[in-house]
Chain A
Amino acid sequence: MAAQPLPLDPPRRRPAAADPAANLAPAVADAVKAAIAANRTRPGALMPVLHAVQDALGYVPSDAVPLIAHELNITRAEVHGVISFYHHFRSAPPGRHVVQICRAEACQSLGARALEAHAKQTLGIDFHETTADGAITLEAVYCLGNCGCGPSVLIGADELHARVTPERFDALMQRAREATS
């Protein structure tokens, strides 16, 4: 059987010096540029840049990847690879409150498995999801260093709670929702 000639792709053209920030809203582009400017001279700058972007915006927009890659003179694949490797970085905006429940052994020994099931059921979401009202994003975390007094829950950047029972969890969620409504 004679081999069919392979259909050739149309010739690819590299966009001529496209603006790597073209797909970003001006405010987002400014935040990303500020994060880069503040960290670009540090050795191993990518992690500090990504932290600064996420601290400013709550997430690292996928459309920011070309700009970060361009400015740090690395490939988009490298930037994407780092963002996707680390659990902490997110590519979509979270809800108003990020709630992290510790899943690790010390918290398990004090009832974290039941708390996790309760949280998913009452919020109606799984880990890495956001409630329909946009109030709460639920995340799993593997140890918050509060292993003597679990189950542990972290709300937002640094609000740590100890000995969180299902009832206490409900109260915390209600308070979080009220805080922004």
Chain B
Amino acid sequence: MSDALKIFVSRDATALALGADATANEIAGEARRRGIAVDLVRTGSRGMFWLEPLVEVATPAGRVAYGPVSSSDVAALFDAGFTAAAPHALKLGLTEEIPYFKKQERLTFARVGLADPLSVADYIAHGGYRGLQRALSMAGADIVKEVTDSGLRGRGGAAFPTGIKWKTVMDAAGDASIASGAESAQKYIVCNADEGDSGTFSDRMLMEGDPLSLVEGMTIAGIAVGATQGYIYLRSEYPHAHRALEAAIANAYAAGWLGADVHASGKRFDLEVRLGAGAYICGEETSLLDSLEGKRGQVRFKPPLPAIKGLFGRPTVINNVISLASVPIILDKGAAYYRDFGVGRSRGSLPIQLAGNLKHPGLVEKAFGVSLRELLYDYGGGSYSGRPIRAVQVGGPLGAYLPESQFDTVVDYEAFAAVGAMLGHGGIVAFDDSVDMLEQARYAMEFCAVESCGKCTPCRIGSTRGVEVIDRIRDDVEREKNLAVLNDLCNTMRFGSLCALGGLTPDPVVSALKHFSEDFAARA
């Protein structure tokens, strides 16, 4: 097969939803009929969703892209000679010269879309496992220092410095009563892959497109802090990511990169995937741990921190997918390399997800510092509907709505906090001017009511009362009084809730009230 022509088609869930399987099948069938030897490789997505299904042809100059290619376009592409990178209306030129892609700084997503995501050999050929190999030659404390020095902060949304979390777990003695002799107490590495925020899909894309980087990152974490067991807690809404992870883990075991003797180092690291069951709250780390233990996913009181008393009461590193998948490149290229990207206290890069009503939705990995406006218009191409963009929600269902006047805010944790918003997991959802912001505020409360774990009153009861109060405002019942009640209620939820679900649900509500007050006024 080595001289067969290589053609790449994504197997990413969004590409599949846009017909990538049918396109790939048609390419294979058409090649057979025409007697052309083709090596069809299914990859992750390059992240340019408006061009999916994207078909790439290997040429000496690099990969040449065609897209979006529906199955009915395939015969014409063969007729035009696309296997020799010939011109065609769908031809886009070299993939990596497409401005949307070229202008990115792909660190964590460097491999996504390049190769077969499940193949350990392909992973290594593209620079994989260099970070772990270096880590295996280092002391745990030095690995932790490297991660701390990189400036990496939790990419799940809370932005807590990853290295500090790791150090706490490394230093934790564990439960002395279960430690016998030289054997230290069990510690765990848990990956939070419960990516429930609307507008976010970078975890999913990475797990489907480069799952071994997550496996490698978790293994490095285990070696660093002395944990021998890892769990990936994956949401059940991601069946494609589930399959990719299971296959990648099995392949890593088979190749000796997981198990009792990781790459002949004498060190153990075991890893398995556990499925959630459709509960947004399980993205909150303590709920997630309870769920992993086989319980209702209810929030725990903190302290104790999971780093001290986490899964099954043992010291536990719990990090987001992107945080863990960023570790291999930090160990491979060094803390300084990663830290040199970014601005202020936000170091490195963020895989930003352009979602909602945008012409060019997709994944844009950029060093911190790019502005929202640049993302919405230069990358996103403006709205999909062609109408003006009126509001943007950043950071998921608990993130604030930003009006046009705040579009110059730059992607930086502190810059977003300064305007009362939250960068979160980097999801950006655009709405055109047909949006009704009162309805969006009502939905924020409704979502909180559906997903509340029920442990604390402000969240459990407040969210339901919030829906009722907003309904009364909409129906013009004692408007001024109810607006005052809504503000009061938001304060109670913000300061009285146990976790971020109840505590941040007021953010989209209050920001909608503040920036789009006309939608809360009496209607004709």
Contacts and interface: CB of A to CB of B under 8 A. Distances in A.
A8 B358 CA distance: 68
Contacts of B16: 160
Given A145-B195, A145-B238, A160-B13, A86 B278 contact: yes
B interface residue count range (under 10 / 10 to 19 / 20 to 34 / 35 or more): 35 or more
A105 B278 contact: no
B18 A141 contact: no
Given A43-B312, A47-B275, A158-B239, A145 B357 contact: no
A108 B508 CA distance: 15
A44 interface: yes
Contacts of A107: 198
Interface string B274-299: 11111110000000000111111100
B362 A145 contact: no
Contacts of A85: 279, 296-297, 453
Nearest to A160: B17
Which of A81, A105, A146 gathers the greatest number of chain B CB atoms within 10 Å?
A105
A72 B203 CA distance: 33
Contacts of A148: 14, 49-50, 201, 353-356, 358, 361-362
Given A45-B294, A106-B429, A88 B278 contact: yes
A106 B431 CA distance: 8
Contacts of B204: 145
Contact of B201 (A44, A46, A109, A145): A145
Interface in B340-365: 353-358, 361-362
Given A87-B279, A145-B201, A148-B362, A109 B432 contact: yes
Interface in A113-167: 113, 141-150, 152, 154, 157-158, 160-163
B198 A147 contact: yes
Which of B14, B196, B198 gathers the greatest number of chain A CB atoms within 10 Å?
B198
Interface in B205-255: 236-240
Interface in B1-21: 13-14, 16-18
Interface string B404-438: 00000000000000000000000101111001000
A108 B385 CA distance: 13
Interface stretch (B172-180, B260-268, B443-451): B443-451
Contact of B278 (A87, A147, A149): A87
B277 A88 contact: yes
A157 B393 CA distance: 29
Contact of A143 (B237, B292, B431): B237
Nearest to A156: B239
B296 A87 contact: no
Contacts of B14: 145-146, 148-149, 160, 162
B100 interface: no
Contacts of B240: 158, 160
A158 B17 CA distance: 10
Interface of B: 13-14, 16-18, 49-50, 195-201, 203-204, 236-240, 274-280, 291-297, 312, 353-358, 361-362, 384, 393, 397, 427, 429-432, 435, 439-440, 443, 447, 450-451, 453
26 contacts: A44-B292, A47-B274, A47-B276, A48-B275, A51-B236, A82-B295, A86-B277, A87-B277, A88-B276, A104-B198, A104-B199, A109-B356, A113-B439, A141-B237, A143-B195, A143-B198, A147-B198, A147-B201, A148-B353, A148-B355, A149-B14, A152-B17, A157-B239, A158-B240, A160-B240, A163-B18
Given A46-B294, A87-B279, 16 more contacts: A44-B292, A48-B274, A87-B277, A104-B198, A106-B429, A109-B356, A109-B357, A109-B435, A110-B356, A142-B196, A143-B195, A145-B195, A145-B200, A147-B361, A152-B17, A158-B240
Interface of A: 43-48, 50-51, 78, 81-82, 85-89, 104-110, 113, 141-150, 152, 154, 157-158, 160-163
